[in-house]
């Protein structure tokens, strides 16, 4: 990167999308540094520090366990494992996206003073969420090992693919929304509500088959949610129970069908990335003035 | 190898919104009706800076010089045109160099270094030097938000000059910080010049341009009005000021105030700045005899020219009004340079001018046959008091100013009359 920084640099009003990707790639080392910074800032002045990233899903687990298993008497077996296998990856998506949305405004001090591809900032927020996810994932896998849970080995290779898909989606939407948030500061508030609705539109707390198993257009619309394939792959691989006493929980699809459904995530992510990068490029010119 | 910086037909347009609608709700209400004015901060800037050159961008406040620098730094994108920079570029824009307030000084150094394109191990190598240069050894593990603005600037400068930049962009920062740190910065700039690095810096202090630049570009309302030697550029800058709407010497005033203001904040535990001797006296003024007007005249100078050349004549007229007959009155003036050093001071008693009892309106004229200074803005203080200086009637501390412009390349402060003769012994 040192050599890259010494090359001629051209500054003009518009930079093509391809050139943008090249610039981000050149600054990949900075992305790692910014991700580290993101985590440091987040846990600075907090007593529990990184432990928070483990406490958070634990609290979710308690709340949903009480609400669904105790009060509503839903009968998903091994509910904690079911919930966590979807929730962790959802949290990766939602914290990554909401962090990214506020990233340009939150780093105004840097944006106003130093030049670097600004896309690094939303991407670093997603990166920070990924680090948290990895920590939680390790604990989750340890828990699976302790209870000797039968994971679906043949579906595990799909997990990295799903992970890439969700990172791409969060990064793409994050780039788009972070730029919009500079001009419309309530984007982040709006996003909070949208994410809440989105959460319930995704089969995390309840099994996919309760809605996705129905016939008709409502289930078709439901299946258009690009996060659903990712959550399903995680559930299919780790939770692994397709049904419980004849009541369907997860779709009884083959490996290929799950992979095909993941195509939806990648498709939406690539469209979002194209739109996001071009909108970001248009709006970026005036970031320093708006902040 | 091309020029270090190429600016090709760069223009930058800003939109000045009369009201800001920053939320979706507000934008919906005022949809498409956000009132704004367009305003070109920089228009058709076109120049090159060669490798190893030191170029000053001169201009008054709002001339677009900082905007242009931000474009070159890559922080703002030009509306038209393009800029090519070759080599690692470090920019020091206004206060601070882009620190995150929640991180410590140490963490910020690493983050800043990596933004500027240094690997972690390279930053580690210069880390101690940065801390020593910024004089922040004791505070380096403190969060930057607890830093004083002086500490902020010192750290910013220290990072920028220690990351081995090929091009250094500096915006006014040399005007802040205490005197010792300023000197250190200028020394470092001089070292960079020797090492053949490229420096582009923005200032409204002509003296600095004369001192360190090879070349200077003058901007006025976004338009390049001069691109020449420092001497020529400073002259053009002053002429533009004299004819411009900004008024004579206003930028210099700002410079002086910034220096004072930040110097006060620089110290880590320094007490509030003490009032100068003059300010204290001004506060005690009884106003029995008031200064009603002070006029600085340049007799024999074309009325359109707002500055003096060295050794030209000047008259300071002090008009006063006494509310009651007052015996034993003394009129004094003091002249200070822009850095606050007293250059000259006299009063009616020292000069042996008899002042009878004053009453009503009057005028005291201080006439100078020659003003033997070379260059700069000078501040004039005026005082009226009793001859034992025990009671102050009125005191205007550095409220007036005049400007002297040196058309030659002679350096220094005082216009010594000099004749040089050369002789050589030959066999």
- State how far the Cα of B123 lies from the Cα of A102, in Å rounded to an integer: 29
Interval A234-266: pLDDT, tens:
999 998 888 877 778 888 888 899 999 999 999
DSSP characters for chain A? -HHHHHSEEEEES---HHHHHHHHHHTHHHHHHHHHHHHHHHHTT-SSGGGHHHHHHHHHHHHHIIIIIIIS----TTHHHHHHHHHHHHHHHHHHHHHHHTHHHHTHHHHTT--S-TTHHHHHHHHHHHHHHHHHHHHHHHHHHHTT----GGGTTHHHHHHHHHHHHHHHHHHHHHHHHHH-TTHHHHHHHHHHHHHHTSTTSS-THHHHTS-SHHHHHHTT-TTHHHHHHHIIIII---EETTEE-S----HHHHHHHHHHHHHHHHHHHHHHHHHHHHHHTTHHHH-
Of A2, A34, A286, the CB nearest to B118: A2
Q: What percent of chain B shows pLDDT beyond 90?
A: 11
Nearest Cα to A188, choosing from A59, A284, A94, A53?
A94
A218 is written with which tokens? 């409502």
Q: In the prediction, which pLDDT does A131 show?
A: 92
- State how far the Cα of B156 lies from the Cα of B358, in Å rounded to an integer: 56
Convert chain B into a string of H (helix), E (strand) and C (coil): CCCCEEEEEEEEEEEEECCCCCCHHHHHHCCCCCCEEEEEEEEEEEEEECCCCEEEEECCCCCCHHHHHHHHHCCCCCCEEEEEEECCEEEECCCCCCCCCCCEHHHHHHHHHHHCCCCHHHHHHHHHHHHHHHCCHHHCCCEHHHCCHHHHHHHHHHHHHHCCCCEEEEECHHHCCCHHHHHHHHHHHHHHHHCCCEEEEEECCHHHHHHHCCEEEEEECCEEEEEECHHHHHHHHHHHHHHCCCCCCHHHHHHHHHHHHHHHHHCCCCCCCCCCHHHHHHHCCCCCEEEEEEEEECCCCCCCCCCECCCCCEEEEEEEEEEEEECCEEEEEEEEECCCCEEEEEECCCCCCCCCCEEEEEEEEEEECCCCECCEEEEEEEEEEECCCCCEEEEEEEEEEEEECCCCCCCCCECCCCCCCCCCCCC
B133 to chain A, closest Cα gap in Å: 21
**The pLDDT of residue B343 is above 80:** yes
pLDDT band per the 50, 70, 90 thresholds, residue B20: low
Q: In the prediction, which pLDDT does B389 show?
A: 76
* pTM of the model as a whole: 0.70
Q: In the prediction, which pLDDT does B255 show?
A: 34
**The pLDDT of residue B320 is above 90:** yes
Residues in chain B with CB shorter than 8 Å from the CB of A289 are 14, 76
Q: In the prediction, which pLDDT does B333 show?
A: 93
A133 to chain B, closest Cα gap in Å: 23
Q: Which of A3, A12, A31, A281 to mutate to test the interface with B (most CBs of B within 10 A)?
A: A12
Q: In the prediction, which pLDDT does A103 show?
A: 93
Residue of higher predicted confidence among A148 and B279: A148
Average confidence (pLDDT) over A199-222: 85
Is the CB of residue A129 less than 8 Å from the CB of residue A148? Answer: no
- State how far the Cα of A112 lies from the Cα of A2, in Å rounded to an integer: 23
DSSP characters for A88-137? HHHHHHHHHHHHHHTHHHHTHHHHTT--S-TTHHHHHHHHHHHHHHHHHH
Residue of higher predicted confidence among B229 and A196: A196
Query: How many Cβ atoms from other residues are within 10 Å of residue A249's Cβ?
Result: 23
Q: In the prediction, which pLDDT does B259 show?
A: 34
Q: What percent of chain A shows pLDDT beyond 70?
A: 96
Q: In the prediction, which pLDDT does B25 show?
A: 67
Residue of higher predicted confidence among B61 and B264: B61
Residues in chain A with CB shorter than 8 Å from the CB of B71 are 11
**With an 8 Å Cβ cutoff, are B102 and A115 in contact?**
no
**With an 8 Å Cβ cutoff, are B111 and A33 in contact?**
yes
Interval A108-152: pLDDT, tens:
888 888 888 889 999 999 999 999 999 899 989 998 898 888 888
Q: In the prediction, which pLDDT does A147 show?
A: 87
**The pLDDT of residue B262 is above 50:** no
Largest pairwise CA distance in chain A: 66
Of B24, B94, B115, the CB nearest to A30: B115
Residues in chain A with CB shorter than 8 Å from the CB of B101 are 109
Give the range among A243-252, B68-77, B213-222, B272-281 with minimum mean pLDDT. B272-281
Average confidence (pLDDT) over B357-380: 88
B295 to chain A, closest Cα gap in Å: 42
Give the range among A38-52, B38-52, B120-134, B193-207 with minimum mean pLDDT. A38-52
Best-predicted range by mean pLDDT (A104-118, A170-184, B48-62, B224-238):
A170-184
B113 to chain A, closest Cα gap in Å: 10
What ipTM does this complex have? 0.74
**With an 8 Å Cβ cutoff, are B98 and A10 in contact?**
no
**The pLDDT of residue B130 is above 50:** yes
Q: What percent of chain B shows pLDDT beyond 70?
A: 82
Interval A63-103: pLDDT, tens:
888 887 788 777 788 888 888 999 999 999 999 999 999 99
**With an 8 Å Cβ cutoff, are B77 and A116 in contact?**
no
Give the range among B95-104, B120-129, B146-155, B369-378 with minimum mean pLDDT. B95-104
Name the pairing type of β-strands B54-58 and A243-244: unpaired
Residues in chain A with CB shorter than 8 Å from the CB of B23 are 184-186
- State how far the Cα of B233 lies from the Cα of B225, in Å rounded to an integer: 9
**With an 8 Å Cβ cutoff, are A30 and B77 in contact?**
no
Of A1, A187, A288, the CB nearest to B117: A1
Q: Helices B120-134 and B149-162: crossing angle, nearest 10°?
A: 130
Residues in chain A with CB shorter than 8 Å from the CB of B69 are none
Is the CB of residue B1 less than 8 Å from the CB of residue A6? Answer: no
A253 to chain B, closest Cα gap in Å: 43
Query: How many Cβ atoms from other residues are within 10 Å of residue B334's Cβ?
Result: 18
A98 to chain B, closest Cα gap in Å: 17
């Amino acid at each position: 990167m040192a050599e890259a920084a010494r090359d001629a640099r051209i500054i003009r009003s518009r930079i093509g999308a391809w050139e943008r990707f090249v610039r981000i790639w050149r600054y990949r080392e900075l992305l790692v540094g910014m991700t580290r910074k993101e985590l440091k800032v987040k846990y600075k002045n907090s007593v529990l520090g990184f432990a928070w990233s483990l406490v958070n899903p634990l609290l979710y687990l308690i709340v949903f366990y009480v609400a669904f298993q105790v009060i509503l008497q839903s009968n998903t077996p091994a509910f904690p494992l079911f919930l966590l296998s979807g929730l962790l990856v959802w949290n990766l998506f939602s914290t990554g996206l909401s962090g990214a949305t506020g990233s340009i405004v939150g780093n105004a001090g840097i944006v106003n003073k130093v030049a670097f591809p600004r896309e690094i900032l939303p991407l670093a927020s997603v990166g920070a969420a990924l680090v948290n996810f990895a920590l939680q994932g390790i604990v989750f896998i340890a828990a699976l090992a302790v209870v000797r849970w039968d994971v679906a080995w043949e579906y595990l290779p799909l997990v990295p693919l799903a992970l890439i898909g969700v990172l791409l989606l969060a990064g793409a939407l994050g780039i788009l929304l972070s730029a919009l948030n500079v001009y419309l500061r309530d984007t982040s508030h709006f996003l909070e509500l949208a994410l809440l609705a989105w959460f319930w539109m995704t089969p995390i707390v309840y099994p996919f088959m309760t809605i996705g198993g129905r016939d008709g257009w409502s289930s078709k619309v439901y299946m258009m949610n690009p996060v659903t394939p990712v959550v399903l792959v995680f559930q299919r691989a780790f939770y692994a129970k397709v049904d419980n006493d004849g009541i369907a929980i997860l779709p009884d699809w083959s490996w290929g069908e799950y992979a095909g459904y993941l195509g939806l995530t990648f498709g939406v992510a690539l469209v979002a990335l194209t739109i996001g990068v071009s909108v970001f490029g248009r709006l970026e010119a005036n970031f320093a003035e708006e902040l | 190898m091309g020029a270090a910086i190429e600016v090709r037909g760069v223009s930058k347009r800003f939109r000045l919104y009369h009201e800001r609608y920053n939320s979706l709700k507000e934008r919906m209400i005022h949809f498409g009706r956000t009132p704004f004015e367009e305003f070109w901060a920089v228009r058709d800037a076109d120049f090159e800076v060669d490798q190893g050159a030191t170029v000053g961008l001169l201009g008054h406040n709002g001339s677009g010089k900082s905007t242009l620098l931000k474009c070159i730094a890559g922080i703002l994108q030009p509306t038209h045109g393009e800029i090519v920079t070759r080599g690692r570029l470090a920019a020091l824009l206004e206060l601070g160099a882009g620190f995150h307030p929640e991180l410590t000084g140490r963490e910020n150094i690493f983050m800043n270094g990596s933004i500027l394109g240094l690997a972690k191990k390279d930053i580690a190598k210069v880390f101690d030097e940065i801390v020593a240069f910024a004089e922040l050894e004791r505070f380096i593990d403190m969060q930057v938000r607890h830093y004083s603005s002086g500490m902020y600037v010192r750290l910013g400068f220290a990072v920028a000059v220690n990351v081995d930049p090929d091009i250094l962009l500096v915006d006014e920062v040399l005007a802040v910080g205490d005197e010792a740190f300023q000197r250190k910065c200028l020394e470092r700039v001089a070292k960079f010049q020797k090492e053949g690095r490229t420096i582009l810096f923005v200032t409204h202090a002509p003296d600095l341009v004369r001192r360190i630049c090879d070349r200077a570009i003058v901007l006025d309302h976004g338009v390049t009005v001069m691109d020449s030697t420092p001497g020529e550029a400073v002259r053009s800058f002053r002429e533009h000021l004299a004819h411009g709407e900004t008024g004579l010497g206003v930028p210099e005033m700002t410079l002086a105030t910034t220096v004072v203001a930040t110097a006060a904040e620089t110290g880590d535990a320094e007490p509030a700045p003490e009032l100068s001797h003059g300010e204290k006296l001004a506060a005690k003024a009884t106003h029995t005899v008031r200064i009603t007007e002070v006029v600085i005249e340049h007799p024999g100078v074309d009325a359109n020219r707002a500055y003096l050349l060295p050794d030209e004549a000047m008259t300071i007229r002090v008009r006063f009004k006494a509310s009651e007959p007052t015996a034993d009155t003394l009129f004094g003036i003091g002249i200070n340079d822009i850095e606050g050093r007293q250059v000259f001071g006299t009063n009616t008693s020292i000069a042996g001018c008899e002042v009878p009892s004053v009453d009503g309106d009057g005028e005291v004229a201080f006439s100078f046959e020659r003003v033997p200074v070379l260059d700069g803005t000078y501040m004039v203080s005026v005082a009226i008091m009793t001859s034992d200086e025990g009671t102050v009637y009125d005191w205007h501390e550095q409220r007036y100013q005049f400007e002297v412009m040196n058309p030659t390349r002679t350096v220094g402060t005082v216009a010594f009359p000099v004749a040089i003769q050369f002789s050589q012994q030959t066999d």
